Every structure is written in C-alpha cells, then in structure tokens.
Structure 1
Amino acid sequence: MKKLLLIDASNLLFRSYYATAYTGNLMQNKEGVYTNGIFGFAHAMIKLIDNGYTHILVALDPKGKTHRHLEYKEYKGTRKDTPPELIMQFPLMEEYLDALGVYYYQQDLYEADDIIGYMSKHYKEKFDEVTIYSNDHDLMQLLDTNVKQMVSRKGLKDVEIFTPEYLKEKMGVSPKQITDYKGLVGDASDNIPGVPGVGNKTAVKLLTQYNTIDNLYQHIDEVKGKLKEKLELNKEKAIFSKKLATIETDFDNTIDFNKTEYLGYNQEKLIDFYTRLGLYSFIKNMKIEKENKKQDDFIVIKNPAEIRVILGNECFMHLEYFGKNYHDASPLGFALIFSEISYYIPFDIAINSDAFIKFLQSEKIKKYVFDLKALTVILRWNNIIIKGIEYDLLLAAYLTSSSVNQDEFRDVCELYHYHDVDFEDNIYGKGAKYHLPEDKIHIKHAIDKVSAIKNTYEDALEKIKEFNQEDLLYNVEIPLAKVLSDMEYIGININPKSLEEFGLDLKQKIDETEQLIYDLSGEEFNISSPKQLGVILFEKMQLPVYKKTKTGYSTDISVLSKLKPFSPIIDLIIGYRTYTKLYSTYVEGLKSSLTLKDDNKIHTIYQQALTKTGRLSSKEPNLQNIPIKNEEGRALRKVFEASDGFVLLSFDYSQIELRVLAELGDVKNLIKAFKNNKDIHEETAKLIFKKDNISRKERSIAKAVNFSIIYGKTPWGLSEDLNISLAKAKEFINNYFASYEEIKVLIDKNIAFAKENGYVKTHFNRIIHINEIKAKNYQTREFGKRIAMNAPIQGTAADILKIAMVKIKDEFIKHNIKSKMILQIHDEIVLDVVKEEEKLVTEIVSNTMMNAVDFNVNLLANYSSGKNLYEVK
C-alpha cells in the first residue's frame, strides 16, 4: 500500500514549541541551545513514521515574504514576532530532517500550504492514501476521496481525522467550500478580513443555500436586512479574502518526487544530532543496528583460585554496581580484558582472592577504566585502595566534549560513534521500576562496558592529542579524581545537635513570618502559591503589577524587589521564601544525607565532568550552594565542624578571575595594581571616573563593572544591577576598555577564535564549546559572544584551583601530613587539620596555591581557621 505523508513544518514546530513554552521552562542543552520545539517536532515525526508511510515530504514556509504578502501587505500582520528561542530551532529542524532521511522542500514566495497543495493535486493518483498533517484549516480545501487531514489535539495521542464527509458533518461545508467560508468569516490568525459581522453559523447557512460566494452575490437580492447590507458593503473584501485563502496548486517548482520515498534514517547522523542536543531519550528508543561482527566471548570466573591465572600487567577494567549513589551502592562484579580476552569476576569472589586484591593495589599494573572516582570510592568502602589507574574514559571524553552526559555510559561512547552498549535504564529500569536484573543481563552489560572502554581508547586519545590536552588529562584531571575520591570518602563532620537547633530556629522564624504576613494581608493563604500570593498582592492590596504570565501574576524575586517600597509585606515574603528554602533543602536534606553511612558525616559526590568551564559541582547533597549572602544562610555553616582534636582551615583565592583576566590579556595596569597589592576596585574606579579620590559608591560601581566584564554582562545588565541609565552603563564600560585596552583586545580575540572554531580554550587547553556563536539568530549569537568573553577566564580559574589541589596532595604525601582536604566550594578549599600541623599546613597550602602556576600576576590565597565553617568564613 502506497501512502504519502505531507507535513506542514512550521505548524508542527510552532505547536511543539508553545506546548511547553507557556510554562516558562524551556528545554536547553548544556550549550544553552533551546530544544523544546525540536523535541516535540522529533517526537511527532517518529510517531508519524511508525504509521508506515512509503513517501514523506515536509513543506517549509519561505524565509521571506510570500506571494500573498505582495498582494496584501497586512497578510499575517497581526501575528506576534517569533521568539528568538524558537527561531534558532528552525535550522535544527532541517538538520534533524536530513539525519532522519526525510525530504523537505522550501521555495521563495510560496508557503508550505502551497507546496502541500501542489503535491496533493499532482500526486494523489499515485497513492492509495495521502495524509496531510497540520492543524491549519486552510488545508482542508485539499481533502478528497483518498486525501485526509490529521489534526492533533494533544500530540498524537488525541487526533482528529478529517475526510470530506467528516468535514461536512463537523463544519457544515465541503472541501471546495473552505475558501468561500474563509472569504466570508475571514481568518484572524492570517489577518484575512472576510466580511465583518459574518460568523460561522451565518457563513455555513449562506454556503448551504448558495454553494459559493460568486453564486451568493449573483443572488444577493434574496438576502434580506442588515446581512445584505454587510455583504454588499464588503463584496470586494469577501472575494479578495477567498483569493488569499485559496491554496496555489499549480506553480513552477523544483520538487524532486523521487526524494519523497522514505528509506530510513542515517543512524550515525541521528545519534550525533540527539547527542549534541541532549535528547538522549530518543537514542534510548532507537532500534540501534549493530555492526555485523562477532562479539568476543567472555569467561565468568567462579572460583577465587582461577583469578591468579588470568592476571596480567595491563588491563581494561570496569566495576559494575547497582545503586544511584555509589557511596552505598552494591558492587556486582568486575569486567576485565587481559590480552584481548574478556572476563567477569563477581565481586564477592574477587575480594576473596588475595591475588586480585594485590592486583588492584599494585601501582605497576596499568588499569584503564571509566569513572575512576566512583570505582575508587566503592573500593575504599570495601577497605581496598586501588592504584595504577592510568586512564579514565569519562574524563577523556569530558575534556574534548564538555557537554558529555556523565551519568550515562552509553552517551559517552556515542561521542566516538560506538553503539555496542545499552542504556542504563534499559538494564535497570528507572523510577519505581528501578531493579537489579538477573545475573546474565548485568554481567553482559558490564562486559559491553569494558569492551567500550577498550574499543574507544585510541579514538579518545587521538582527540586528546588533537587538542593538546595530554597534560590536562594525565596531570590534572586524573590526579584530581583521586584527590576528590579521598575527600568524598573522608567526608565532613556534621554536628546533629547544631543541625537540629538550626532547624528549630528556622521553623520558629517561618511560623513568625507567616503570621506577620497573614496580619498584613488580612487573611490566611498559601504563601508558597504564586497564584494565591498574586491575588493578595495585586488584587486585594492593589500593589503595582510589573509582570504577568499566562498563569497569572508574576511574583518572582525581580518583581518582589521592585515592590519593596510599597509595602513591608514584601520583605517578609522574601524572608519567608529564604527560611523555607533553607529548611527544606538543607535541614531536611542534610538529615537525609546523614543516614547514608550513619557516621555523622556528609559524603557528597563531586561532579567532575559536568560544567562547561571545568568548575566542580556536587550532589547528594549539593555543598556548592551553601548560602553565604544572608545571616541565616551563613549560620548553616555552624553545623559543619572539625573532627575531634582538629581545626578547620579554609583557603580561597583572592579575586582569582580578575587576576586571570590580567594574565590572559597581559593587562599592564591590572598587573601593576595586583603586584603592588592595591585595592583593584578602587584602582579601576580611579580610571573609569578619572580622579584620585574615590567614594565608597564609586568603588562599588567599579567593582560591578569589573565583574560585569568577567561574566560577560551587557550594558543593559549592568544598568539593571546598578539601577542606572543604559547610557551611563555604556559610558562606564567604554571608560573601562579605554583604561584597560588589552582587555578589549583579548575579548575580540576570543570572540574571533570562537566564531572560527566553535569553541574557546582556557590557558591550559580546556575546550569550551560554544554552538551559539554560529547561530542564525542574532540574540543567540550575542549570547555566544558573552560565553566566549568569560568562559576562558572562569575555566582558567577553575583549572588553577584543580592544579593547586593536586599539588597540595603531593606536598602532603611528601611531608607525611595527616591533615586532609575535605571540602571544595567555588574558590575555597577546606581542610580538617591536626592542631599540631596547623602552622605547617598553612605554610604548605598557602605557598602551593600562590605558586600553583607560572603566572606574571601574583596569586593570593587568603586563609582563616575555626572549629566550624561559620568561623572560617
């Protein structure tokens, strides 16, 4: 059965975009590329293709004006401008269709409707069935005995199929009468006027009696009253509206019918597309075609005595475990490859073999793994210290592709076009269905993983060499992973009593603030509900409305900040949100985390392969976001304590990013100020205000300008931050660049490099991809430029901290130091220090941080000590 599918591309992409856009939570990949429209588009395309169409054509609207605009300049004039977040997804749609193997066609002056009309008229006789997929009612004029239209209500779960008979039943008109119908009622979405005052029922009644507009006007004297008057007065509008609504089915074109035959997708291109956009769920549902090659057999070791025979001096290795948090996960077994032979050793057998324990602990036996940090921590919890790890696939992949999905082994392999390993969800399930499968399934999965480590090894190293990242991999990231594994295993002490007291104090503040809000508002309501809060503030209390969303009034922090002068209730609401967030995220979150090992310690997981710039983040729990901007947040730090007989030491780089900026740009005035230990913000103020005596306010402005450059803020953003005019913000930034000319040169150089290569580099060759820099949309390109400005600075600062952490560990080993690094937050390193070692540790860490890298700019590390984190910061 031959079936032709004709798809209105813009209609589908717009609907896909707005299906989620109304929530305000637009999907983005790690590079900041918006993907919510393309996600819905791809989902629909896959569902449609599954219906067995033999031929498919996707019709695109032209990039410029249409022939209808030439006849009627107000055509579609009432439509709002297309959001830039959607505009940037149109080229993605074309790229997706190429990978999907679906033919698409676009022609100047002619709309998608016209292309579909041409195909429908000229090729319907070749097919048993022609289906038009669109919600545009104009296309219903094309319906015929074998031409139907599929209209979706909720994706493809709820569709309405229009045939000529169903159209007549539903709307009271035939396909041939659709243009006449539009001529009478018009079309607000296309700004087609029609006859003012003629609605659906009147139009249907007239067409039932007279069939066409032409025939109606031939019998206009039969129409009575005001209706006749309206029709006569607007005759030209009616006839012209019908013409505008009529789809062109005969025009010169270069449509290649042979390309409409659907022969399937390009697996490699499609997987690459999904991977770059972070649409991993589509890859999971693909029927991956495996290469026709013999899979290596593997041997399952069933006795500890057998292990000694297989061990060699070098191997690829993977430890498979079951559990979302590897601190308390269940290790299942080791998959290993020695001399091209694959083995699987169940964990209980492996750890009962002295030979295998010695193998794991041997520095001389080289081991090539995936996620050495997780492997090291799991073994530490089983009293085994692994050594000899030379290579980590996860870290190698992260360095060359910062958008890698670190939580999915398969996605990492996809970077090297390797598909012979399944997704974790397919093996273990997810959510309520997360479970341990039968042995043969997870054993085969472990073998597939170790094979992937081996088979991608050469490609991964080739990419590392291509970007000159050997030093970054072998001397920074891999040693750092070992440092972080120690920190995770050691953990940081929590005082349960202090945490309980902090929680009780917060609870009291929540209750008191809640009551004050009720008193000021005059009634009780759900303060955490934006909808109810909006009614109280803007309807009952009549406060100024600054922003509305599709769901009601906006009560986000930007709105509340503007409302502060109008009522004391605003400060209370902001306070209430702070207290409740602290309680739910930290009090309850930390209590939950303490049950992990029941040792009164927090054992976080550092996410080393997550951020684009190389900064560390953490989870389970997230210790990177411990608040310090308000007293309540700072008070939380009191619960993090030193071990008995120890003291906490905190070291952090002073103005590290400004120093990096000075170094990367060789900024003479900045370097001079840093070398002379000047107040850098005051020195900047002197330059941009062109005077020597600087007020506190002027210093604050200079500080904001300094950091606006680092974080790539626009003049508009700076004006918002400082509550000054846009012109004044531009003046400050222009004066800044005039004073630090080298910074402007550095920024322009980075932007030019990013435009040419699609990425920027840190001082240490970390690659930060910027897909936005080549986007067709102006706003997206500007966003890419801002990333190009600040990413090398932030990334270099992150690299310096990592290098320092690695060198500190080396120094501790050299001096036999018992004190330990236990926490890393932003630019801060926290250590649990034996009191007798405090002086020596302070000297070692300070000197190491200040001399971590060979820079012209002097690096400065501040430090403080105390019994808890509150005292050291």
Structure 2
Amino acid sequence: MAWFSPLKNPTKLFTCKGAFVKTLTIIDTFGFFFRNYFALPQLRNSQGFPTGLLTGFANFIYAIKNEHDTDYLLFALDSKGKNFRHEIDPNYKANRPEAPEDLRRQLPVAISWIEKMGFKCYNEEGFEADDVIASAVRFAKHHDIKVRIVTHDKDLYQLIDDGRVVIYDPMKKMEIDTEKCFEKFGVYPHKINDYLALVGDVADNIPGVKGIGPKGAKKLLDDYDTVEGVYENLERIGNPRVQAMLEEGRENAFLSKQLVRLDNSLNIADKFESFHLPCDNPLLGIVDELEKYELRHMLSRVRNEALHVKPKEAVKTGFNAILLDDAKMLFNTIEGIEDDAIVAFDTETNALDAYNAKIVGFSFAINQDEAYYVPIAHHYLGVGDQISLEDAKRALTQLFTHKIVGQNLKFDLAVIENNFGIRDVAIYADTMLLAWLLNPETNVGLDTLALRFFNHAMVKFKEVVAKGENFSSVPLEKACEYASEDAWMTLKLYHKLQEMLEPHLLDLAKSVEFPFIKTLMKMEKEGIKVDAPYFETLLKRTDHAIEALKVEIFALCDATFNLNSTQQLGAVLFEQLGLPTVKKTKTGYSTDENVLNELLDKHPSIAKILEYRELYKLRSTYIEPLLKLSKESPVGRIHTSFMQTGTSTGRLSSKDPNLQNIPVKTELGREVRGGFIAKEGYKLIGIDYSQIELRLLAHFSGDEAMVEAFRSNKDIHKETALKLFGEEDAAAKRGVAKSINFGLLYGMGPKRLSETIGISTKEAKSYIDSYFATFPTIKNFLTAIAEGAKKEGFVQTLLGRKRYFDFEHANGMQYAGYLREAVNTVFQGSAADLIKLSMNKIMTTLVDDEAKLLLQIHDELIFEVKEERAEAFAEQAQKAMEEIYALKVPLKVSIAIGNNWGELK
C-alpha cells in the first residue's frame, strides 16, 4: 500500500467553510525519544546494541503512516547553546542527570533516521524545542491548520486550543484537549504557565514556590486567576502557613513564570512547506538500518507493503452510480450478470432494527467500475419512479442465485427475509467478518475499512439523511450515490481481503463464521418469551426497595438530595460529611464504585449507596426495559441482537437488550433471569460446557496429571487441592484450588488472588509458586504463550483465529495487560470456537419446529423445546456438544431443564 501525501490525494478531503483543513503534527523530539526509551523494554540486537528506543520510533512512524491523517510533520529540536532562560537563571536545567548510556548510543541513530526517512528537523540557536513548537503553532493557527503536538512536556499544555491545537500522547494513543488538561492538572491550558510558576518543575530545575503543591496551586488559581493575582491578594489568603510560603517564594514564583514562558517569535513561514509529508513510505528510507539493528517485525511489515505498492495513477477510486428505477432496465441488468459472478449487496431501510425495519431500496455491484441502486419505498413530495415490491422480490430472487457478498449480511438478509419472505440466501462472503479475522482489534465498519485500505472517504449517512428523518426521505439521486457506493466498496474490500487473509483464515470464515451468520439470524428471529406480570411485580418491589433505601440514606446523611447526581452526592459526602477526598474529576468529586469502596468503613451511608446503585442499575438496565420490550411484542417475546465481531477473543456480545451481562451473583440478578420463560407446552433447557477453559489448558499443555484427572472424570479442583495441600486439607482448600485454577487463565497474580480468597499477598504468592512447582508443564505452557506473543505479536485460538498485540511500543501498564490478555485469549477464544462449532451443528441437525436455540451466554446454550421432547433433545444436544471436537481430554456439559431461565442454574 503506497503512502500518498494527503495534500496531493483528492480522495482525502476535509471541508470546512469550503476550504481545505490541513493538519500539522509536531514531535517534541528529545522528549519523545526519552519517553520511548524509558517506556519500552530494554531490547538489544544480536550484537548487543540497544534497540528499544529505535523500535518505538519505527513503530511510531508506522502508526503515523497508517493511523493518522496529517499533512505536515515537524521534528522540533533544542539548540546546543544556551537560550534566554539561562540568562534569566543560570541554574536552569543545571541539575539534569546524565542520560543512560544505552539512550545516548541510540539517540544519534534515531536523529539520523529523521533525515533518511525524508522528514525535516528544525532548531534555532538560542531557542529550545518548546519555542520552535510555539512558533510553529502560531503560524499554523494563523493559516487555519490544525496542530497535533506529540509530547509529554507540561510546558506545552499551555498551547492547547480546542479544535485547533491538541497534545497527543503516543503511548495511550489519545488526544489531550482542554478538558483532559483540566483532568490532569486541575487547571485549564491558559493557566498552565501560572500553575507551573507555583509548583515548579524538578526536571528543568524550575523552583516554583517551595511548599505549594498541585492542589494548593489549583486552589490559589481558582481564587485569584494568575500568579500576579495571587500576590496582589496575598493578605486575603486565610491560611497563615500558605501566606508565609508564598511571601518567601515570591521571587522564585515570578522567575519560574518567566522560565516556563514560551517564545513564539521565530519566523518559520519560509521553512513551512519543507515540512510536507513525503509521498512514499518513510520507512523505506531506512530498510538497511532496520536490517542492521534487527528490527525484524517492522522490516517484514515494510517489505510486505512494498510488494503491494502500485503506481498512484493505477489506484482507481471512481465509479459510476446507476439508478435502476425502471423494472425493464432492472431485469435486463440482472439477467446480464454472468452465472458465476460475485455480487456485492446492501440494503437501505427506514430503521436500524432489522426485524422491524421497512426496506427503502437495495444496491449491488458486480465490478469495480459501476454499482446500482434500486429504489423501492422513498416517500417525499415529487419522488420519481420506483420499483414495486413485487418486482423487487422477483429481482432479488434472481440476484440471489449468484455469489452474494456483503458487509454485515446478518442485517441485510434479515431485512430481506422480513420484507419479502426470502429465506436461506446462500452467503458467499461477509467483508466485516473477513476484516475481523484479519485483525479483531480494529474497527471493521465500512467507512473505516475504506479509509484504511483504499484511502477513500465514504459519503456519510448524516450527509444525506437530515436529522429526525430516515432514508426514505432522501432524494433518489443522492440515495443512489450513497447506497451504490456501499456496494461498490464492499466488492473492492472483498477482493482486497481475499489477497490479505491467510488461507487457513479464509477456510475458517467459510466453514465456521459465514454459516454462523445463519445460526444467529435464526436465534434472533426466535427471541425468548418474557413474563410481563412477573416483571411488573418485580418492578414494583424494586421501586419500593429503592425508595426505602433513599429514606435510610437521607437519614444517615442528614440531607435530601438527588442520589443519581454525582455532583450533589459528592457535595454531601465530602463537604457536608467531611469524608476524605479520594479522587476528583473535571466536574468535581469522583463518586465512582472504586471511590465508594475505599470509603466503605468511613460512614454507614456508603454501603447503602452502593446497594441503591445496584438496585437502580438493575431496574433501569434490565427490569424496566425488558418489561417495555415484552409489551411491544404481540407474543411477549424479546429479540436481542448478537454481535459476531463484538469482541477480540471471539466471544459473542449482544445488544438491544444485552442479555450476556445480567448479574448472576446477586439475588435480584437471579430474579431477573426468572422472568424469561418457556412458552406454554414447552420447557427451557440450559446446556453448559463444564470447566471448558481448564479442559483446554489440559489439552494445550499436555500436563499428565491434569489430563489424567479429566480422563478419569475426577474433581479437578479437589485433585489440585490434594497436590497442593495434601489429603488432610484438600477438602477444606478446594475453593482455594478452584480460584487458582481459573485465576491463572486470566493472568491472576498474588494481589488479586489474595483479594479473591481473603489471604495475605505473601501467602497467595506461596500458593501460586507451589502450584507451578507442582504443575511445571502448565507453567512452561503459560510462559510459552506469553513469550510467543511477544516474539510473534499475536496468539492463536484452537481453530487458528489470531489476536494481535502491539508489545513493541506499549507502556508498562499496557505491556502487562497484553500479557494477561494473550493468555486469556488462547483459552476464552478457543472456548468461543468450540461453542460456535456446536451451535452450527445443532442448528443444522437438531433444531426444528419443536426445538429452538434461543440464546448463547458464553459457554451456555438456552433452548426452548416441546415438553415431551425435552429430555431426549437434551441428550442429543449433549452428545453433539461433547463430540464436536476431539481434545486430549473429554468435553463435558451439564444439563438443566426448567420453566424459566432462573431455574437452569
């Protein structure tokens, strides 16, 4: 994929009042390199040369190339000599420690790469990089160019100007605007200069006022706005100690304010055009360096992309959008499609609920030169000719004899089935699923994929549909442009993804993921029955409990207030009751769950507030919405929407409503499940994989003791307890063994284990050490997953799905998180593979008019089966699930039959 300069690429166009809007990215070069060095692992090549900083730099350039829209890139450097700050204070930056040797060895290499990659550095004698940056910002703002500053320097936060200038944190991949500045420092950007004048900056030897910390500085600036304002009102400051510190530090405060002032007087107008991005991939300029320093992962990426570079003029981004508003023309077009042609297909509707939406039109494409839109139900004054429902159905029936490709076909095929009764359309491919298989971490929406792979900005929905209206009100010509583009891009994506995906992932898509679309469609259409009177009773009881809690809380706090207002609650807890402040946000005191848990023993109201929130959440998230949905259905059934690409591990998620996360550990959560019932004459059946992830651990690791325990159908947790604690304590310590067994699959460390089972961290560590000493094969396997993930950049599930991790420029917290997620993905992702295989098998062999698959809740399937068939069906489904895949240990399921979901546990 060539890297075309956005300035010269007409497809990357951003309009604002009719003009181009460009972006300048500025790198605070030395600060960026220092941060990279300390944030990344101490990597070395085979010659022992340190490469951590270089790896981070190469990854950042790659990310700029692939993830950010920028027109100019400037590397700002400090000059070697002194500047005006040294004249003001000879001690400025005087105490900086010498940089580590490994950092000093890499810096000249990294600096040399900047020029080799085609970028420009800029420094000016007598000025710091901060002044270069401030001057560039002044110029850019004058010319309506947005600025993104890559830095961690506090001084530069004073340049933030919402909509025009942001700070970019490359580690967190986050833009920092005015509000985020406030979250970080407690003051807005225009006060950063005064804030630093008071608190100082140890790194630059800026003294500040001794004794004044961040909280004190914030309060002073809240009250008096500036340093000058503080000293003008010194006698009004009520705290004698603060007043004395300020008086003593007066000279340092004003000195510090001068030191952190940015000089934006440099004239860079004549140099600015040299900051254009190079048209080619910059990393091609340092291929020999990547090889020399053994940055193999990046070298592979660059070479792979170089193989696929095409000349710019060969990249075709235009197509003809053709309106088929005449039946004869429509049928002539469809009849002209070759028998084995691949047809990209998309629908337009008046709503997002596929099972209730009315079709407005459909589009299709058979080549990359043209695409068609068929209008059916546009409604506005003066609308032109459209295709009748009868002709549309006949046309679709003919169209569906070809190889149908779509982007999120589950939606489109549900719309077609519910509007025309056309069922069992053969699915040839779904580009959303192909893109997800290519990388499950990334956004797989059509607009995002078009930008990523073709640098093409799609027409946005909000550009064609007015607020408060739906697609039926869009004029035919505009609708044609929008809708046919979707089909055209879907076809382009299909061919692109076919080239990029490994053969085994294409096979997985065809054998598992594409058939799974049909499985989910049938489940969604079936829905599950809800007992409305039950939920009405539960709602009344919950409301009564909520009101009772409010009375208790108000009495304990000696105040009446809105419990759902975090500001009012914060004022009561921290100002009226005087509880210690744990955390503050831009809007005031934080009262999130973590904060309240820290305050649990500080006041009797806290436990009641937590209980209130749990009840209120269940009421507002589940009880009331489920009751409303059940009443809207003529047969009292609700229909969730399952998302096949909703997680990186492969687990399903669901929405509208989300039935995956109904709490099962609380009494009220279990009562909510009791409201999901079987229809008359039927039973609900729950079939749940037993200890699936531990069985996968035994299978993958091959640990003899664990494999034998599962093969002999022994209690795995008791067997673990026997080995860890001996026969005398095994029964009592079974729960501990269970926590360890499951915890290790999710990267649980000593601290988390200690919190889970209520022991000291030291004791928890000894348990884990003992576990690994007892099961060395398991430890070696878990270590191998982590090491493999770091080396290869991904892990694989049982069926070969991949999940990628960017260890190379992760910060410390991300790095540890990636290691945990890598291990978790192998087991959770493989369990997701097995449940999908089972669902597909059961849907095609066992489900019929008397037995339906309704829900999947992670490792559990919920069926609705005619009462007299329930036990026989459960045995058949059990057999299918236990024989779905041959592991080294047997798969086992548990079965429960009841009248409602609550009875299945």
TM-score by length of 1: 0.71
**How is 1:792-871 mapped onto 2 (pairs within 5 angstroms)?**
792-812=826-846, 818-871=850-903
Counterpart residue identity of residue 361, structure 2: G
* 1:399 to 2:428 alignment: no
| Structure 1 equivalent of residue 206 of structure 2 | 192
Query: CA shift at 1:603, angstroms?
Result: 1.3
Per the alignment, in what secondary structure is the counterpart of residue 730 of structure 2? coil
Which of 713, 737, 741 is equivalent to 2:776? 741
Per the alignment, in what secondary structure is the counterpart of residue 416 of structure 1? helix
1-structure distance, mates of 2:562, 2:406: 51
2-structure distance, mates of 1:627, 1:865: 20
- Cα shift readout 1:116-135 (whole Å, capped 9, x = no counterpart): 59999xx99xxx99999999
Counterpart residue identity of residue 875, structure 2: E
Cα 1:838/1:56, change in 2 over 3 Å = closer
2-structure distance, mates of 1:807, 1:573: 47
Which of 472, 487, 490 is equivalent to 1:450? 487
1-structure distance, mates of 2:780, 2:544: 54
2-structure distance, mates of 1:422, 1:431: 19
* Pairwise CA RMSD: 5.2
* 1:609 to 2:621 alignment: no
Query: CA shift at 1:564, angstroms?
Result: 4.5
Query: CA shift at 1:556, angstroms?
Result: 3.2
Per the alignment, in what secondary structure is the counterpart of residue 767 of structure 2? helix
Cα 1:6/1:333, change in 2 over 3 Å = closer
Per the alignment, in what secondary structure is the counterpart of residue 650 of structure 2? coil
- Cα shift readout 1:322-345 (whole Å, capped 9, x = no counterpart): 323222223222222357774433
| Structure 1 equivalent of residue 428 of structure 2 | 390
- Cα shift readout 1:7-39 (whole Å, capped 9, x = no counterpart): 87569x99xxxxxxxxxxxxxxxxxx9xxx99x
**How is 1:599-748 mapped onto 2 (pairs within 5 angstroms)?**
599-696=635-732, 698-748=733-783
Query: CA shift at 1:266, angstroms?
Result: 6.1
* 1:501 to 2:537 alignment: yes
Query: CA shift at 1:629, angstroms?
Result: 1.2
Per the alignment, in what secondary structure is the counterpart of residue 352 of structure 1? helix
1-structure distance, mates of 2:124, 2:689: 58
**How is 1:446-525 mapped onto 2 (pairs within 5 angstroms)?**
446-465=483-502, 468-525=504-561
TM-score by length of 2: 0.69
Cα 1:802/1:431, change in 2 over 3 Å = farther
* 1:261 to 2:274 alignment: yes
- Cα shift readout 1:482-535 (whole Å, capped 9, x = no counterpart): 010011111111122222122111111111222222233333222223343345
Per the alignment, in what secondary structure is the counterpart of residue 855 of structure 2? strand
Cα 1:526/1:297, change in 2 over 3 Å = closer
Cα 1:403/1:434, change in 2 over 3 Å = farther
The answer to whether the 8 Å contact 2:703/2:778 transfers is yes
Query: CA shift at 1:615, angstroms?
Result: 0.5
Counterpart residue identity of residue 113, structure 1: D
Consecutive unaligned residues of structure 1, counting only runs of 5 or more, are 15-32, 50-54, 78-93, 142-148, 159-180, 205-229, 271-287
Cα 1:501/1:484, change in 2 over 3 Å = same
Per the alignment, in what secondary structure is the counterpart of residue 614 of structure 1? coil
Cα 1:699/1:563, change in 2 over 3 Å = farther
Query: CA shift at 1:76, angstroms?
Result: 9.2
- Cα shift readout 1:782-810 (whole Å, capped 9, x = no counterpart): 21111112111111111111111001112
- Cα shift readout 1:547-575 (whole Å, capped 9, x = no counterpart): 55565554433344455556553332222
Cα 1:457/1:6, change in 2 over 3 Å = closer
The answer to whether the 8 Å contact 2:698/2:888 transfers is no
2-structure distance, mates of 1:562, 1:291: 58
Per the alignment, in what secondary structure is the counterpart of residue 674 of structure 2? helix
2-structure distance, mates of 1:257, 1:833: 77
**How is 1:41-80 mapped onto 2 (pairs within 5 angstroms)?**
57=74, 59=76
| Structure 2 equivalent of residue 757 of structure 1 | 792
Counterpart residue identity of residue 319, structure 1: T
2-structure distance, mates of 1:106, 1:484: 59
Query: CA shift at 1:867, angstroms?
Result: 1.5
Query: CA shift at 1:855, angstroms?
Result: 0.7
| Structure 2 equivalent of residue 275 of structure 1 | none
**How is 1:433-448 mapped onto 2 (pairs within 5 angstroms)?**
436-448=473-485
| Structure 2 equivalent of residue 298 of structure 1 | 322
1-structure distance, mates of 2:718, 2:410: 43
| Structure 1 equivalent of residue 240 of structure 2 | none
Per the alignment, in what secondary structure is the counterpart of residue 829 of structure 1? strand
Query: CA shift at 1:545, angstroms?
Result: 5.8
Query: CA shift at 1:356, angstroms?
Result: 3.2
The answer to whether the 8 Å contact 2:677/2:684 transfers is yes
2-structure distance, mates of 1:532, 1:630: 28
2-structure distance, mates of 1:633, 1:295: 53
**How is 1:547-562 mapped onto 2 (pairs within 5 angstroms)?**
553-562=589-598
Counterpart residue identity of residue 727, structure 1: K
Give the number of equivalent residue pairs: 724
The answer to whether the 8 Å contact 1:8/1:112 transfers is no
2-structure distance, mates of 1:501, 1:117: 64
Cα 1:119/1:337, change in 2 over 3 Å = closer
Counterpart residue identity of residue 900, structure 2: N
1-structure distance, mates of 2:229, 2:354: 66
| Structure 2 equivalent of residue 346 of structure 1 | 375
> Which shows bigger deviation, 779-788 or 290-299?
290-299
Which of 111, 122, 129 is equivalent to 1:112? 129
| Structure 2 equivalent of residue 588 of structure 1 | 624
2-structure distance, mates of 1:513, 1:774: 50
Cα 1:329/1:109, change in 2 over 3 Å = farther
Consecutive unaligned residues of structure 2, counting only runs of 5 or more, are 1-21, 33-55, 98-110, 167-192, 213-225, 233-246, 284-311, 378-386
2-structure distance, mates of 1:429, 1:662: 56
Per the alignment, in what secondary structure is the counterpart of residue 529 of structure 2? strand
* 1:329 to 2:362 alignment: no
Cα 1:389/1:248, change in 2 over 3 Å = closer
| Structure 2 equivalent of residue 769 of structure 1 | 804
Counterpart residue identity of residue 348, structure 2: E
Query: CA shift at 1:712, angstroms?
Result: 1.6
| Structure 1 equivalent of residue 813 of structure 2 | 779
- Cα shift readout 1:297-316 (whole Å, capped 9, x = no counterpart): 63515227952772353441
- Cα shift readout 1:672-730 (whole Å, capped 9, x = no counterpart): 2222222222222233335553254x322222222221112333333333343332222
2-structure distance, mates of 1:115, 1:157: 15
Query: CA shift at 1:731, angstroms?
Result: 1.8
- Cα shift readout 1:602-657 (whole Å, capped 9, x = no counterpart): 11111111210011011111111122111111111122111222111111111111
2-structure distance, mates of 1:809, 1:458: 30
1-structure distance, mates of 2:144, 2:263: 18
1-structure distance, mates of 2:205, 2:608: 48
Counterpart residue identity of residue 346, structure 1: P
Counterpart residue identity of residue 814, structure 2: T
| Structure 1 equivalent of residue 822 of structure 2 | 788
Cα 1:105/1:715, change in 2 over 3 Å = farther
Counterpart residue identity of residue 828, structure 1: E
2-structure distance, mates of 1:509, 1:242: 56
The answer to whether the 8 Å contact 1:593/1:620 transfers is no
| Structure 1 equivalent of residue 395 of structure 2 | 356
2-structure distance, mates of 1:863, 1:319: 41
2-structure distance, mates of 1:192, 1:248: 17
| Structure 1 equivalent of residue 288 of structure 2 | none
